[in-house]
Structure 1
Amino acid sequence: MSFIDRESAYVRQLFTEVLSSREALKCDAVLLSGGLDTSIASETLKQLPGSQLHTAITVTIDPAQNELAKSHALFSQEPQDVIYARKIAEKLGLDHHILTPALDELFFTASGESTLELCVRTRQTFDGMELRNAVVIAHALKYAKSIGCQRVCTGDGADEMFAGYSFMQGMSDEDLQKYTVNMVKTMSFCAVPLAKALELEVWSPFLDPRVIEYATTRGNSRVLKVGQFEGVQHGKLVLRMAFPDVVSAGRKKEPIECGSGTTVMPALAELAVSDNEFESEARDALDKYGIVVRDKERLVYFRTFQRVVLEGQSSNQLQKDSTDACPDCKFRLRDGTSFCSVCGLYPARPIIRD
């Protein structure tokens, strides 16, 4: 048996043990993106004795519900999440809820607190990359709560620890090892605080301490994380080799925003916000708060950030910092990262390489 085969067998056993835990078996729903990570989690969990998993929730944008996006042909193809998720749910016999919200429903209008407002208030951010992903998770969690689910399984952590991102796959073995260890120290996921705000629980097998230890020690090698699977170069190689029978074993990595369809938001903001509006409101943000708003999409989110965080009644957990602050928004940077979690500037501090 080869080295990769031995490690794949070990990983399969490890995940079976993790998913056999009491915390895992209590999951009654899964946020089913149809990617490799949720495919492994749901397909392994469902077959275990005592599993309470019965519901799958998938979010995909309906382009027909936004006339501006539709008229400018911003949706070039059907989002892929629902295609894979449907296959997994059918295979497992899950009660599959496919949610098709309009962009306006997620980002702009709603009865009560909008999904965007929930995300901005909870995550304290107006960064586009964060919010395009967070609104999808928040919408799914809100729905899970509405139908009585209590503990929701996610696939958080796999990309960060097993080289799921394309930029990690191009690193040398030494750089990837160091980056993975640092990533584990700084990674955070929106599902946890969003679920807490909604009085739900979320759980991911990839964030179990046993999996984290494997990914940063014994399994922290490029040969286990990057390589050929079914003739195609992929990240998360050892996961694919460990679970070659799951529906999405060969699916390429897609960010949540691509799989769900929220990736159109930058282009939509360009159409929805005039140049004069952007120049005027960006100037006001700089004059009033010392905050640089770099583009129209950020301005769409900054309007909510200003109302909910800077001027609202919600708890403002952000700190101004004169010595270790983001150059654009002036808020204190998180330790160990060059990315500003508030405005999305990168690099927000010099990148130091060994």
Structure 2
Amino acid sequence: MCGFALIAGAGAEPELFRAMLATLAPRGEVEEIRATNELMAGVWRLRIVDPARAEQPWISADGRWLLCYNGEIFNHRQLRSELIARGHRLRTAGDTEVLLAAFLEWGQEAVERLQGEYAFAIVQRATGRVYLARDPLGVKPLYWSRRAGRLHLASEIKALVPVGEPITEVPPGHHGWADGGWPHLAPYLDLRRLGLDHPPLTDPDEAIKLIRTAFAESVRMRVDTELPVGVVLSGGLDSSLVLLHMRQFHSDCVAFTIGAPGSPDLDHARRLTAELGVRHEVVQLRPRDIRLADVREAVRLGELTEYGDIINAVVSAPLFRRVRECGIRVVLTGDGSDELFGGYPMYHEVPAAQSRALFLHRLRNLGRTELQRVDRVSMGHGVEARVPFLDLALVELAMRLPLEFKVRDGVEKWLLREAFADLLPEYVRRRAKNGLSYSSGLHDRARLYKPLFPRLHRGFGYDLAEAVRRDFDSVLAACDNDLDRAIAEGVARQDYTVRERIRDAAGAVRHNLPRVRRPRQPA
């Protein structure tokens, strides 16, 4: 929905605030700011729900409270009805106003009523206290830093780099108040308990019925908009299920697929969209089309360090660029299904008694890996990506499933395939999982990049240092801009390692990202 930056505390610095907010410009269409000496809040808003009236930062009718908000509350219509019945007078049709009204009605317990993907900050303007919250799985990001007693918040890490102090992630599923610039956060949802208050689902027929209902409702809520919606379609099981359900609830759907000519992704996606009569936008990306500049941009956008995450960002960036060029602001993806329903080889090997711990581990890391990549790359092109497989009701059902329902006879996501056997074409239902950059025909290029990453991994920043940029460019020019030759002739040598030094209180930090502190969670 947007990106926001906020500084709370006396003597807030306008130049720093403008630098923070400017970094987030790709995340929205309209810049909206409210600023005083003690509070500076700004939003780059992607206009999706009630675009004309749901401006941000949102101020309560009595002027006492301010809200900065990124994401979507999918049950906002239901909450609206409850709030009106309790006497609230709402001025817009958007979910932003509903979110603040819910907080004013139910306080911190309001987060337990929210169904959505969100991160937000609510400021009590008279005192400067700030209430923070982030969705249970970390679909939407939020980070904070503190300088001179002031709290600095932003939707991306790089927006807080100018603060020059350590950066801390607001953990998924946490909320709390910040006083004197220090957030005091606690979990409002314990993922370790998810599903334990209900009996295990040992009857496959019952499990199938519940999963079908929950998934359909999850997709319905995420396409509840008058805007056209897109789907990132690989032609595999997960994204095909998303598309099949989208068509039931929205008449204006567009599928987007990226891949090399002749890749399985393109073949399966073309076949499915042709059978369904769905508009299909294809981004053909040959391995040799990927240049070093694309790697730099993926690093800058994604704020990630692992080779697999970065190469996936490299591949998906052209896709989201096309989505935006087509005028689509909202897309759905199939992310999260593998973590929930056993889509990785490791699930074939883990003992049943340890499977729940493994699933929890994968879920809790999504916010700092796959979901971070999807958020940064999509929002870096002004597109909001929504993840229906990670609706909390569906996650809870998946946590109640025994391992033998997820992996059976060597077939991953067995129950998911069975649950939708009547909807899925056989060529989709029986298709094995492939990673994005591999099934799209780009695995050879991925291998070419691999020697480059161990060194970049230790020393890159968001923008390449000028001297290093010249080094890269001179090598590429000498090789006629052929990245294959450039790598072979020494781009991966230590001489060309990027050394973007980001200073914090401890001095020069020679890391690939600012020192982002991720609070430890109980095992």
TM over 0.5: yes
> Does residue 408 of structure 2 align to residue 227 of structure 1?
yes
Q: Tell me, in whole angstroms, the C-alpha distance in 1 between the residues paired with 2:505 and 2:276.
A: 49
Q: Tell me, in whole angstroms, the C-alpha distance in 2 between the residues paired with 1:19 and 1:267.
A: 36
Q: 2:419 aligns with which of 222, 237, 242?
A: 242
- Secondary structure of 2:353 counterpart: helix
Cα 1:4–1:270 change in 2 (3 A) is: closer
Is the CA contact (8 Å cut-off) linking 1:5 and 1:241 kept in structure 2? no
TM-score when scaled to structure 2?
A: 0.48
Q: Tell me, in whole angstroms, the C-alpha distance in 2 between the residues paired with 1:336 and 1:37.
A: 31
Cα 1:47–1:270 change in 2 (3 A) is: closer
**Cα deviations by residue, 1:239-280 (Å, 9 ceiling, x for unpaired):** 111111313111111111111122112443489x8xxxx99x
Name the counterpart of 1:44. 245
Q: 1:96 aligns with which of 261, 276, 280?
A: 280
The alpha carbon displacement at 1:336 in A equals 6.1
Name the counterpart of 2:257. 58
Name the counterpart of 1:7. 207
Q: Tell me, in whole angstroms, the C-alpha distance in 1 between the residues paired with 2:389 and 2:450.
A: 37
Name the counterpart of 2:478. none
- Secondary structure of 1:148 counterpart: coil
> Does residue 383 of structure 2 align to residue 200 of structure 1?
yes
Q: Tell me, in whole angstroms, the C-alpha distance in 2 between the residues paired with 1:208 and 1:27.
A: 21
> Does residue 353 of structure 2 align to residue 174 of structure 1?
yes
Within 5 Å, which residues of 2 pair with 1:209-288? 209-216=392-399, 218-219=400-401, 221-228=402-409, 233-244=410-421, 245-247=423-425, 248-269=428-449
The alpha carbon displacement at 1:328 in A equals 10
Higher mean Cα deviation, 141-150 or 186-195?
A: 186-195
Is the CA contact (8 Å cut-off) linking 1:321 and 1:332 kept in structure 2? no
Instruction: Say which structure, 1 or 2, has more relative contact order (CA 8 Å, 6+ apart).
Output: 1
AA partner of residue 17 (structure 1) = E
Is the CA contact (8 Å cut-off) linking 1:60 and 1:261 kept in structure 2? yes
- Secondary structure of 1:211 counterpart: helix
Higher mean Cα deviation, 97-106 or 188-197?
A: 97-106
Greater fraction helix: 1
The alpha carbon displacement at 1:209 in A equals 1.6
Q: 2:341 aligns with which of 143, 151, 162?
A: 162
Is the CA contact (8 Å cut-off) linking 1:30 and 1:53 kept in structure 2? no
**Highest CA radius of gyration, 1 or 2?**
2
AA partner of residue 7 (structure 1) = A
> Does residue 329 of structure 2 align to residue 146 of structure 1?
no
The alpha carbon displacement at 1:5 in A equals 2.2
- Secondary structure of 1:239 counterpart: helix
Is the CA contact (8 Å cut-off) linking 2:303 and 2:513 kept in structure 1? no
Within 5 Å, which residues of 2 pair with 1:16-95? 16-23=216-223, 28-48=229-249, 51-62=250-261, 78-95=262-279
The alpha carbon displacement at 1:300 in A equals 5.7
Q: Tell me, in whole angstroms, the C-alpha distance in 2 between the residues paired with 1:326 and 1:183.
A: 28
The alpha carbon displacement at 1:172 in A equals 1.4
The alpha carbon displacement at 1:115 in A equals 3.7
Name the counterpart of 1:183. 362
**Cα deviations by residue, 1:111-144 (Å, 9 ceiling, x for unpaired):** xxx4433320122234321122112221110110
Is the CA contact (8 Å cut-off) linking 2:288 and 2:445 kept in structure 1? no
Ranges in structure 2 where 5+ consecutive residues have no aligned partner: 1-201, 466-486
AA partner of residue 231 (structure 2) = V
The alpha carbon displacement at 1:57 in A equals 1.0
- Secondary structure of 2:429 counterpart: coil
Is the CA contact (8 Å cut-off) linking 2:286 and 2:442 kept in structure 1? no
The alpha carbon displacement at 1:301 in A equals 12
Ranges in structure 1 where 5+ consecutive residues have no aligned partner: 63-77, 109-113, 290-295, 338-353
Is the CA contact (8 Å cut-off) linking 1:56 and 1:96 kept in structure 2? yes
The alpha carbon displacement at 1:41 in A equals 0.5
TM-score when scaled to structure 1?
A: 0.69
Q: Tell me, in whole angstroms, the C-alpha distance in 1 between the residues paired with 2:298 and 2:325.
A: 18
- Secondary structure of 1:145 counterpart: helix
Name the counterpart of 1:346. none
Name the counterpart of 1:306. 498
Cα 1:302–1:106 change in 2 (3 A) is: farther
AA partner of residue 291 (structure 2) = F
Q: Tell me, in whole angstroms, the C-alpha distance in 2 between the residues paired with 1:326 and 1:225.
A: 42
The alpha carbon displacement at 1:222 in A equals 0.2
- Secondary structure of 2:398 counterpart: helix
The alpha carbon displacement at 1:181 in A equals 1.4
Is the CA contact (8 Å cut-off) linking 2:437 and 2:446 kept in structure 1? no
Name the counterpart of 2:180. none
**Cα deviations by residue, 1:90-110 (Å, 9 ceiling, x for unpaired):** 1221111121123343333xx
Q: Tell me, in whole angstroms, the C-alpha distance in 2 between the residues paired with 1:61 and 1:333.
A: 38
Aligned-pair Cα RMSD in Å: 4.0
Q: Tell me, in whole angstroms, the C-alpha distance in 1 between the residues paired with 2:212 and 2:295.
A: 38
**Cα deviations by residue, 1:276-313 (Å, 9 ceiling, x for unpaired):** xx99x88x969xx9xxxxxx79x769999838xx26xx
Q: Tell me, in whole angstroms, the C-alpha distance in 2 between the residues paired with 1:107 and 1:304.
A: 16
Q: Tell me, in whole angstroms, the C-alpha distance in 2 between the residues paired with 1:138 and 1:200.
A: 11
Is the CA contact (8 Å cut-off) linking 2:331 and 2:384 kept in structure 1? yes
